[in-house]
Chains A and B, each alone.
Chain A
Amino acid sequence: MSNISSSQIFAWVERYAKHIAEQKDYLTQLDAAIGDADHGANMHRGLKAVLAKKAELQNADIGVLLKGVAMTLISTVGGASGALYGTFFLQASVMAGSKTELTPSEFGSVLEKGLAGIVLRGKAAVGDKTMIDALQPGIKAYKRSIDSGETLEQALSKAVSAAEEGLQSTVPLVARKGRASYLGERSAGHPDPGATSTVLLFRSAAETFA
């Protein structure tokens, strides 16, 4: 089974930046419905700043690379997204340490550590209509697939499907965290913008590592 190198990790983030750039207006539109209309613009600004550090980051060890992504997002995105995505990559970087490549199983542990960081910082759980509704099932599906001996490609494909299902599950939910929670019942009937950008994170991994 193929391992994931530092440069592939950066390519993953690059691919994510491309998806965010393409979906910027859509994400902002989703956020306008139940939040404050800045998710697309903020994520785009942060990932553009990450791309500007390509030369410095792409050949670093994976811990340094992910920490660079984290600190850049934390200092440029703002809002809850900056803190949460930043925390995700920061905790992921701790787990990756000085490795320069990750086995698919190690990559799963890195993602899990990132998720744990988000849960701790945001104090949200599945069903609160947040990015966790896509992130947690995506990572779970990935781990289960890898543990049962499937290939990286299969695992990532299952992660994308599970994250997409998680995203769809946010549509009827009433938000209990974040700015959308101010709307109460009025937040139902809309997909969560953070869960939407989280699906793109899995899709980028599937397209990059497959």
Chain B
Amino acid sequence: MKKLINSPENVVLESITGLGAAFSDLIKVHTNPNYITRADAPVKNKVALVSGGGSGHEPMHGGFVGRGMLDAACPGAVFTSPTPDQMFEATKAVNGGKGVLHIVKNYTGDVLNFEMAADLAKAEGVEVEAVVIDDDVAVKDSLWTAGRRGVGTTVLAEKICGAAAEAGHSLKEVAALCHRVNATGRSMGMALTSCTVPHVGKPTFDLPEDEMEIGIGIHGEPGRTRTKLKSADEITEMLLTPIVEDLPYKSGDEVLLFVNSMGGTPLLELFVVYGKAHDILTKAGIKVTRSLVGPYITSLEMAGASITLLKLDAELTKFWDAPVLTPGLRWGA
């Protein structure tokens, strides 16, 4: 293992400490338990948004704390959900009196720990709603599994719901909006290489030089199929087709196209994927009206990419365009 770390035990704490030092104007890093809040939290009379999850997906979620997005983020150990005490303390710290929305990615650990935290917060009189994001079409959704994983749509939901909260919407309204984003967002990812979890020290899976994994999860969970490496155009089609067919997205729809790096894939390659995806959608009569390209929900140093589509309407577009000022996303502010 070759990593720019001091020790696997301290990597998360040292990283969030560095994040706090770099963006002290925007965020405040709390330790023991670990959570990150807006520098000006709690914001009175605004619904507060709290998210969290395992570390290793930076900039998600800590990099999305700030005006117009999250009020707090709880970083767990690498690829391990945070614990209820972190979420409970974060929830209390950002509650501005209008209630707190937990945005939870659909992984068993995240869901169970956020449920425990919500129980604790409600017992202290804090109004809490939770929305679980499950947008990964690579996973079969069934009553007999843990359901679809939460991936790229999480980033879009945090941005859009953050804007709605900023605009003064109620907890019920922001939660309903979050459900709507989840219902119309779909994603799928692929990997060219594995990632190495610091405390494990060796790659999570073996992927031969000439193969790729289609449908990979953001923790290196295997996906739908492992096949011979193909061209960027062919890979884009392999990711986009199941996404478009799943909702389905139809001719005449307006969408946000989000092409995300798993961490190791450079922008040079991401824009090749974006160009092809844009082309496929345009030919299908689907109008790409907004875009996001870059590493936003990563899987350590994994090479690969994911594509997320979100069906837009006037309200979602307005909230997407609203000002945001966080370490990881900023415009209009």
Q: Which residues of A contact B (CB under 8 A)?
A: 28, 32, 35-38, 41-42, 45, 74-84, 86-87, 121-122, 175-179, 181-184, 186
Distance between A40 CB and nearest chain B CB, rounded to angstroms = 9
Distance between B212 CB and nearest chain A CB, rounded to angstroms = 17
Distance between A31 CB and nearest chain B CB, rounded to angstroms = 10
- Neighbouring B residues of A78 by C-beta, 8 Å: 54, 76-77, 80-83, 109, 113
Distance between A63 CB and nearest chain B CB, rounded to angstroms = 19
Is B200 close to A, CB under 8 A?
Answer: yes
- Neighbouring A residues of B219 by C-beta, 8 Å: 36, 179
Measured CA separation A76–B81 after assembly (Å): 11
Give the contacts of B105-121 with A (CB-CB under 8 A).
Answer: 107-109, 112-113, 115-116
Seed contacts A76-B83, A78-B82, A82-B109; 9 additional CB < 8 Å A-B pairs: A37-B79, A37-B220, A38-B197, A38-B199, A41-B200, A80-B109, A121-B115, A179-B107, A182-B145
Give the contacts of B179-217 with A (CB-CB under 8 A).
Answer: 197, 199-200, 204-205, 217
- Neighbouring A residues of B107 by C-beta, 8 Å: 179
Could you tell me if B145 and A38 are in contact, using CB atoms closer than 8 angstroms? no
Measured CA separation A178–B86 after assembly (Å): 22
- Neighbouring B residues of A182 by C-beta, 8 Å: 139, 145-146, 149, 217, 221-222
- Neighbouring A residues of B221 by C-beta, 8 Å: 35-36, 179, 182-183
Distance between A96 CB and nearest chain B CB, rounded to angstroms = 20
Instruction: Please list 10 pairs of residues, one from A and one from B, whose beta carbons are closer than 8 Å in the complex, sorted by A's number.
Output: A35-B221, A38-B79, A41-B200, A45-B77, A75-B83, A75-B86, A78-B77, A181-B145, A184-B140, A186-B222
Q: Which of A45, A76, A79, A176 contacts B109 (CB 8 A)?
A: A79
- Neighbouring B residues of A28 by C-beta, 8 Å: 200
Measured CA separation A176–B147 after assembly (Å): 9
Distance between A176 CB and nearest chain B CB, rounded to angstroms = 5
Measured CA separation A37–B206 after assembly (Å): 14
- Name B221's closest neighbour in chain A (CB-CB): A182
Measured CA separation A21–B80 after assembly (Å): 19
Q: Which of A28, A45, A179 has the most chain B CB within a 10 Å cutoff?
A: A179
Could you tell me if A121 and B145 are in contact, using CB atoms closer than 8 angstroms? no
Is B264 close to A, CB under 8 A?
Answer: no
Is B85 close to A, CB under 8 A?
Answer: yes
- Neighbouring A residues of B79 by C-beta, 8 Å: 36-38
A84 in contact with B146 given A78-B82, A184-B140, A186-B222 (CB within 8 Å): no
Measured CA separation A71–B78 after assembly (Å): 21
- Name B145's closest neighbour in chain A (CB-CB): A181
Could you tell me if B109 and A83 are in contact, using CB atoms closer than 8 angstroms? yes
Is B42 close to A, CB under 8 A?
Answer: no
Distance between B21 CB and nearest chain A CB, rounded to angstroms = 25
Measured CA separation A41–B112 after assembly (Å): 19
Measured CA separation A28–B81 after assembly (Å): 16
Q: Which of B33, B108, B144 contacts A178 (CB 8 A)?
A: B108
- Neighbouring B residues of A177 by C-beta, 8 Å: 108, 145-146
Distance between B105 CB and nearest chain A CB, rounded to angstroms = 12
Measured CA separation A171–B88 after assembly (Å): 37
* Contact indicator per residue, chain B 52-77, by CB within 8 Å of chain A (1) or not (0): 00100000000000000000000011
Measured CA separation A87–B83 after assembly (Å): 13
- Neighbouring B residues of A176 by C-beta, 8 Å: 144-145
Is B304 close to A, CB under 8 A?
Answer: no
Distance between A69 CB and nearest chain B CB, rounded to angstroms = 15
Could you tell me if A37 and B83 are in contact, using CB atoms closer than 8 angstroms? no
- Neighbouring A residues of B33 by C-beta, 8 Å: 75
- Name A174's closest neighbour in chain B (CB-CB): B144
- Neighbouring B residues of A82 by C-beta, 8 Å: 81, 83, 109, 113
Measured CA separation A83–B81 after assembly (Å): 10
